[in-house]
Structure 1
Amino acid sequence: MKYSLDKILLEIHNKEDKILSQSKRLIDEAYEMTLYLQDLLGSVKKYLIEEGFKNDEEEIRFFRSIKPQILGKLIYYNKIYRIETTCPVSNGKMYYNYFSGQLANLKREYTEHLCNSDFYRYYRSGRTDRDDTYFKRGNINYHDGLNSIVFEIDPEFSTFFDYKTARIISNELLYTYLLTKINPDENPDVILQKPESSKDIFWTDTKNAIIELIYALYASGVISHGKIGIRKISLMFQILFRIPLGDLHHAFHRMKTRSGSRTSFLDQLKFSLEEYMDKDL
């Protein structure tokens, strides 16, 4: 197919990197990603309806791995936009209570609709023996008492369980996002409160660059003999440079799968240092 998993992920990652590098407000980032993913999903659907699948294996791979990545991210960014645009204040007790309530809602939804299902256990275990049932179209069993959304899906572009997979993906991303909102140590509004005397120190490269540096320091164990966690290292950098980094693990995952050099910033640091050394010769 034209839309391979690697190509889809690369397109999404490149778009996310481009938006994040522009240092926009989270609301703006979420809105732009929502529009982009909605358009991407529509393009994939149009192509699929016109071209179809070569075989069952290709169909299963699409509905198990490709479509849920697009739809899961779409649900995630749309939810962030909704949460951020209805947040009552920028900090304080009301702010904390608001995001704590959002986290409680997410946990309740997870308990009621995901974790106790046979499919959730199947997907989490990495099994593939029932993929023919879950990820091929035309196999919806209404005797299972499925969620009412099953009546709204397009049977030509969904097996219903691709939607369930997307919800699992989006919930995981939302969980991490909400944790950073209710944890004061990772709250950007707290992080950015610095003395006036240090406000001339700020990061001028991309967020991905500083995250790459943070993970390199963490992986090498050069800070506190490797006994300090990635979150504390991240917090130090966020305080020093007055930059909120958000979901580190999500960004790091994108680095692991991006094309070209996965350590482009570190490569540039090495080149710059060697070039600087050569000037003194």
Structure 2
Amino acid sequence: MKKKLSNVLEEVDKYERELSTKGNNVIEESCKLTTYLRELLVELKDNIVREGFEDEAEEINFFKNIKPQILGKLIFYNKVFRIETSCPVYNGKMYEAYFTNELEELKQEFSEHIRNSDFYRYYRSGRTDLDCEYCMLGKINYAMGLNSFVFEVDSNHSTYYDYKVARIIANELLYTYLLSKTDTNHNSDQTLQNSESVKELIWTDSKNALIELIHALYAVGAISHGKVGIRKINLAFFILFKIHLGDIHHAFHRMKDRTGSRTAFIDQLKVSLEEYMNKNL
């Protein structure tokens, strides 16, 4: 099972990139991705029920990283489809007010249901000490006073908390998306996205590589004298490459625990640039 699981997120990223290069409008693209991700989750569930996991590490990785990434994107693209198909107009003050309202609702949901939870702090901090409780089947503790939707959870394919991680990822994606719609420079952003030269720009390395680059640019203060945060830099790359990075903060915590170099992409940039310089001496 391990080989199949290790490639599934790469396949999702590849499909997203393929759709983004075909010039589909956002409604068509989000609809196709919603269908694709829903079918992929069904396929994964069937495979896991049939074959099981090789060990605890594979099970934890699936319910902490793989399934939430897929489910989070499914929630996100379905929400984008619903938002876009309900949009009253395509520009102007009513357009801006519509997306501003969606953004405010997202912020309120985060404030009321996510921000102050113990699990959110656990996940955001990159901790792993309770993974056996949060990320394995059959470990749901009903004595903790969990949300009532726990009784609708498929105990053969969910740990209850995998859905919570998926919601965090979906909200992060939706936040970036709505920011791109409500930013005061939205019109210029649309012009940038619609120009033929920019449409040809595709991020072809891994998402982790781009996340590493974003954090490096933030750490060194290379953008706006270091006065903008990670999310704003992420938004800039989203507008440029139309690439959804998901929960970049949690991805950063995983990078800190890498074996070997924790800055693999930055290291490769240095090596490649020096080789390029040597060729042009």
Q: TM-score normalised to the size of structure 2?
A: 0.72
What is the correspondence of 1:118-197 to structure 2 with a 5 Å cutoff? 118-185=118-185, 187=186, 189-192=187-190
Is residue 202 of structure 1 aligned with residue 203 of structure 2? Answer: no
Change (3 A) 1:60 1:180: same
State the Cα deviation string for residues 177-225 of structure 1 (Å, max 9, x = none).
000000031x2x554569xxxx9x732863416999xx9xx99x9xxxx
Query: Which residue in 2 is equivalent to 1:67?
Result: 67
Query: Which residue in 2 is equivalent to 1:55?
Result: 55
Change (3 A) 1:58 1:204: closer
Structure 2, unpaired ranges of 5+: 249-267, 270-275, 277-281
Q: In 2, distance between residues paired with 1:11 and 1:193?
A: 30
What is the correspondence of 1:1-281 to structure 2 with a 5 Å cutoff? 1-2=1-2, 4-185=4-185, 187=186, 189-192=187-190, 202-203=196-197, 206-208=200-202, 245=240, 247=242, 250=245
Opposite residue 55 of structure 1, the aligned amino acid is D
Change (3 A) 1:64 1:54: same
Partner SS, residue 88 of structure 1: coil
Query: Which residue in 2 is equivalent to 1:274?
Result: none
Opposite residue 179 of structure 1, the aligned amino acid is L
Q: How far is 1:9 from its partner? A: 1.5
Q: How far is 1:54 from its partner? A: 2.0
Q: In 2, distance between residues paired with 1:130 and 1:97?
A: 42
Q: How far is 1:250 from its partner? A: 3.1
Q: How far is 1:95 from its partner? A: 1.0
Q: How far is 1:56 from its partner? A: 1.8
Partner SS, residue 250 of structure 1: coil
Whether the 8 Å CA contact 1:63–1:158 is kept in 2: the answer is yes
Partner SS, residue 129 of structure 1: coil
Q: In 2, distance between residues paired with 1:65 and 1:179?
A: 25
Whether the 8 Å CA contact 1:180–1:246 is kept in 2: the answer is no
Q: In 2, distance between residues paired with 1:143 and 1:73?
A: 30
Q: In 2, distance between residues paired with 1:128 and 1:52?
A: 22
Opposite residue 71 of structure 2, the aligned amino acid is L
Provide the alpha-carbon RMSD of the alignment.
3.9
Whether the 8 Å CA contact 2:137–2:159 is kept in 1: the answer is yes
Q: In 1, distance between residues paired with 2:245 and 2:80?
A: 15
Q: How far is 1:5 from its partner? A: 5.0
Opposite residue 44 of structure 1, the aligned amino acid is L
Q: In 2, distance between residues paired with 1:205 and 1:25?
A: 13
Larger Rg: 1
Change (3 A) 1:30 1:50: same
Q: How far is 1:104 from its partner? A: 1.0
Opposite residue 46 of structure 1, the aligned amino acid is D
Q: In 2, distance between residues paired with 1:49 and 1:248?
A: 32
Q: In 2, distance between residues paired with 1:29 and 1:6?
A: 25
Q: In 2, distance between residues paired with 1:183 and 1:76?
A: 19
Opposite residue 139 of structure 2, the aligned amino acid is N
Q: In 2, distance between residues paired with 1:227 and 1:175?
A: 21
Q: In 1, distance between residues paired with 2:3 and 2:93?
A: 46
Between the two proteins, the alignment pairs up a number of residues equal to: 241
Whether the 8 Å CA contact 1:211–1:248 is kept in 2: the answer is no
Q: TM-score normalised to the size of structure 1?
A: 0.72
Partner SS, residue 50 of structure 1: helix
- Give me the identity figure in percent: 45
Q: In 1, distance between residues paired with 2:40 and 2:174?
A: 21
Q: In 2, distance between residues paired with 1:72 and 1:228?
A: 31
